[in-house]
Chain A
């Protein structure tokens, strides 16, 4: 119930161990710094052990932490299966940005790129960079980069490299 002008509902889906929570937190933190209200819902517990992990991120004047099926603007699918698992959350013209073995206008093989980079865990940031390059998210790549390089953050070099790799793949 703030006076914000940005409204965006993002579903982030993956499996345990892919760092879905990490990406959710980055986006949420950046949104707060833009002066927006933020609500997030996270998966904890048993499902984190290799099961399905999903976060909901709502930016703007919302009150509940959950996204209703049929209303999300974007699905960030960190695992090929996540598309099937979560696409019912999207509204009619909602967009899917996916980590998938076959690349396309809105999909990229982030897993492979991350392994080639020598940092399998950074596939999540490659996908995020790719999504940013498509101008679909509420924020700019620069704010994410700034956030990743701030004091106290770990693995700054690898993270930035992965993010930029994703961005560059999206721009070509």
Chain B
């Protein structure tokens, strides 16, 4: 029995993965990919499915875990955001050569814009680099069916395949028909030893490479993977056409529909932008006078065309090289391509900018506040997570990629250690618990071994907050809510990395926390000192379990407040607001969490707790 459900693209992918028969599904959370594994984990729990679902420690581990299941002849899926693939690139490059037995789909969500990422990298490019096929869905409905096709191709050709939605597909919602009850077809695991493949030495790698190239050629030829008309009601007449992949084609369809030009301008949609069949591309070039190529974000399809003379796209300078292709941009491009007058459009107003901030009551804010109290001048390497927003408190100077806060802190130390004393800045790095697990540990070991000196705050809120509160290895919780009973202690890990100064403290106790930071500061500067690590432990307020035990305090601003704005400027809790006409700062009770931390912040003791 099927039911019609309103699904996010990512949820539709989750359904497709399960209906497609995957028995191991792994992921590391990251916007815009996080809901994929979350939806699989929910379905597992609700329908009691006998599958392995895990939030892995990082994307590389996630990839390798899923890959082994496919080596054992079973179908697998791994999901991540685009920059996560950078971390998993090592196993992907090699897995393209070894291939798989059971189908394996690598879901990588791209983020043109970017909306929530460090880069706008195009995963289809990475697919080309690794020599694996890549599929590009256009909508949630398409996600559900296309990913099953991708799994079939993967299994038939024994090659991992990439499935690449973009933010606008992952975070679109649509009515999708899906089965009410999912039945995951279980094949028993069996591993056939084949050292020349699974453990190939360089000598055999050459042969695997050749086999890979042959597979790609066959896949490109496959009839049911050929580009098709996006709208089957369109015909192939006309002098010009659009060729592309992904959600941008749906913008093109709506624009042509409005212009009543759908009959004249066919839209060819490549299900699989790489590898494309040469003869198909050549036939398009023969059939049409001009071709517009629409794709995000790099010219992947365009580069595969042999003759670019009559091609309208990035390489001809008609499509922007960076940024998301929004519908209005696509409209401008299409009007230009069809030599139609451009459309007058009301411009967006200059609205007051609104920067994201940490939630009211966020324990990170307390940590950053204390950090800035003790370290007035310094270099503050930061990392990826909610706490990147320590930027607002001037407590984050660098944000590179996962785990880099620690290695960069060490790098800054080595860079400055030769300077004369008074030019040596304090170095204070911050990293979240999940990011520490993800890739902070090797960096910390390295920093200790190289005798670097800095203070490290592990902002431990026992969750992966930014992406929707996924469990970390510290919690002993697994993806579907089961308890594993295996809790990994950050404190012990830090000690085992060779760090001699380790303290755990609650940043809500601002005064004590400041004292510990001062101790850490002197330890770093002592002759026999080293790296000082403080684990700032307090749960994220968005954590459902914590919310039920959180004790809300009622804070009030008394007339001691002289409206000096110290709290607003240095603590920036969004619930502390300056209301014009009021002689004191006001608490916005509709957003105040009742954490009570601001009480310790006000130098005049004007904020009090009423109960």
Q: Judging by beta carbons under 8 Å apart, are B171 and A42 in contact?
A: yes
Q: How far is the CA of A42 from the CA of B31 in the complex (A)?
A: 12
Please, which residues of chain B bring their CB within 8 A of the CB of A37? Answer: 174-175
Please, which residues of chain A bring their CB within 8 A of the CB of B326? Answer: 66
Q: Judging by beta carbons under 8 Å apart, are B172 and A85 in contact?
A: no
Question: Is A62's CB within 8 Å of the partner chain B?
Answer: yes
Please, which residues of chain A bring their CB within 8 A of the CB of B172? Answer: 39-42, 65
Query: Smallest Cβ distance from B324 to chain A, in angstroms?
Result: 10
Q: Which of B62-70, B313-321, B355-363, B367-375 forms part of the interface with chain A?
A: B355-363
Q: Judging by beta carbons under 8 Å apart, are B116 and A40 in contact?
A: no
Contact with A along B332-351 (1 / 0, CB 8 A): 00000000000101111111
For window 29-46 of chain A, which residues contact chain B by CB distance below 8 Å?
A: 29, 32, 37-46
Known: A38-B174, A41-B171, A88-B347. A50 touches B250 (CB 8 A): no
- Which one of B250, B251, B352, B356 has the greatest number of beta carbons of chain A within 10 Å? B356
Question: Is A134's CB within 8 Å of the partner chain B?
Answer: no
Q: How far is the CA of A141 from the CA of B6 in the complex (A)?
A: 20
Contact with B along A135-163 (1 / 0, CB 8 A): 00000000000000000000000000000
Contact with A along B407-422 (1 / 0, CB 8 A): 0000000000000000
Q: Judging by beta carbons under 8 Å apart, are B466 and A45 in contact?
A: yes
Question: Is B328's CB within 8 Å of the partner chain A?
Answer: yes
Known: A28-B173, A88-B346. A49 touches B254 (CB 8 A): no
Query: Smallest Cβ distance from A22 to chain B, in angstroms?
Result: 13
Q: Judging by beta carbons under 8 Å apart, are A70 and B345 in contact?
A: yes
Please, which residues of chain B bring their CB within 8 A of the CB of A16? Answer: 356
Q: How far is the CA of A15 from the CA of B353 in the complex (A)?
A: 12
Q: How far is the CA of A15 from the CA of B343 in the complex (A)?
A: 30
Please, which residues of chain B bring their CB within 8 A of the CB of A42? Answer: 8, 171-173
Please, which residues of chain B bring their CB within 8 A of the CB of A32? Answer: 4, 6, 175
Query: Smallest Cβ distance from B252 to chain A, in angstroms?
Result: 9
Q: Please name the residue on chain B nearest to A24 by beta carbon.
A: B173
A87 contact from B253, B327, B349, B466, Cβ within 8 A: B349
Query: Smallest Cβ distance from A135 to chain B, in angstroms?
Result: 24
Q: Judging by beta carbons under 8 Å apart, are A68 and B116 in contact?
A: no
For window 1-58 of chain A, which residues contact chain B by CB distance below 8 Å?
A: 1, 15-17, 25, 28-29, 32, 37-52
A contacts with B, residue count (CB < 8 A):
44
Q: How far is the CA of A160 from the CA of B175 in the complex (A)?
A: 26
Q: Judging by beta carbons under 8 Å apart, are B175 and A38 in contact?
A: yes
Q: How far is the CA of A88 from the CA of B326 in the complex (A)?
A: 14
For window 221-251 of chain B, which residues contact chain A by CB distance below 8 Å?
A: 231, 233, 247, 250-251
Please, which residues of chain B bring their CB within 8 A of the CB of A50? Answer: 354, 356-357, 359, 574
Please, which residues of chain A bring their CB within 8 A of the CB of B286? Answer: none
Please, which residues of chain B bring their CB within 8 A of the CB of A46? Answer: 31, 115-116, 356, 388, 466
Query: Smallest Cβ distance from A68 to chain B, in angstroms?
Result: 4
Question: Is A104's CB within 8 Å of the partner chain B?
Answer: no
Q: Judging by beta carbons under 8 Å apart, are A49 and B346 in contact?
A: no
Q: How far is the CA of A111 from the CA of B577 in the complex (A)?
A: 16
Q: Judging by beta carbons under 8 Å apart, are A69 and B231 in contact?
A: no
Q: How far is the CA of A64 from the CA of B294 in the complex (A)?
A: 15
Please, which residues of chain B bring their CB within 8 A of the CB of A172? Answer: none
Q: Judging by beta carbons under 8 Å apart, are A45 and B32 in contact?
A: yes
Please, which residues of chain B bring their CB within 8 A of the CB of A44? Answer: 31-32, 34, 116, 171
Q: How far is the CA of A43 from the CA of B255 in the complex (A)?
A: 23
Please, which residues of chain B bring their CB within 8 A of the CB of A114? Answer: 590
Query: Smallest Cβ distance from B321 to chain A, in angstroms?
Result: 21
Q: Judging by beta carbons under 8 Å apart, are A65 and B247 in contact?
A: yes
7 pairs of A and B residues whose beta carbons are closest in the complex: A45-B116, A45-B31, A65-B172, A120-B590, A64-B250, A40-B173, A51-B356
Sample 10 A-B pairs with CB under 8 A, ordered by A number: A40-B172, A40-B173, A46-B31, A46-B466, A49-B356, A50-B354, A81-B354, A85-B348, A111-B590, A115-B589
